[in-house]
Amino acid sequence: MLNIHEYKVGMFAELSRAFSAEEVNAFSKLSGDTNPIHLDENYAKKTIFGERIVHGALASSIFSTIFANQLPGVGCIYLKSENKFLKPIYLNKVVVFSVQVVDVLIEKRRVVFKTTAFCDDRECIVGLAELYIPE
């Protein structure tokens, strides 16, 4: 992990990921979110989405994956996140998750990131995250 003084506005990392029916089912069991829009194809067909969608919390968890493994990396502490879900994420569709440094608070040892997920070249999740960078 970089020293807090090495983080610069504009630094960027991304990860592409799709979610299978098995992963959505497992997340449902772990989280307790059994909304049929995520689990029942027949139910989902009758909704505005027309098919099953991935839990927003499951999809947004990929930002944590980027933070832990890419930028900032091992040892960072995820303090705060804010997400707005703009479009549904469908099963087995590739989503590109990206994080970009928008502010560095050196005295607090914190880095603020813009978080974005793209589905079919359209934003489906947008938000902000704040991470603590230990010494």
pLDDT (tens digit, 9 = 90+) per residue, 44-98?
Answer: 999 999 999 999 999 999 999 999 999 999 999 999 999 999 999 999 999 999 9
Whether 44 is in a domain gets the answer no
Q: What is the pLDDT of residue 1?
A: 87
- Which CATH number goes with the domain that contains 13? 3.10.129.10
Q: pLDDT digits over 14-46, tens only?
A: 999 999 999 999 999 999 999 999 999 999 999
* Residue ranges in 2-121 assigned as alpha helix (H): 21-31, 36-39, 41-45, 56-69
Whether 97 is in a domain gets the answer yes
Q: pLDDT digits over 89-101, tens only?
A: 999 999 999 999 9
pTM across the whole model: 0.94
Whether 120 is in a domain gets the answer yes
Whether 61 is in a domain gets the answer yes
Distances (CA, A) of 17 to 10, 44, 63, 85, 98: 22, 22, 11, 17, 11
Return the bridge partners of 122, or none: 119
Whether 115 is in a domain gets the answer yes
Domain that holds residue 84: 4-18+56-132
User: Could you give the number of structural domains in the chain?
Assistant: 1
- Asked whether the beta carbons of 2 and 67 are under 8 A apart, the reply is no
Whether 118 is in a domain gets the answer yes
Whether 30 is in a domain gets the answer no
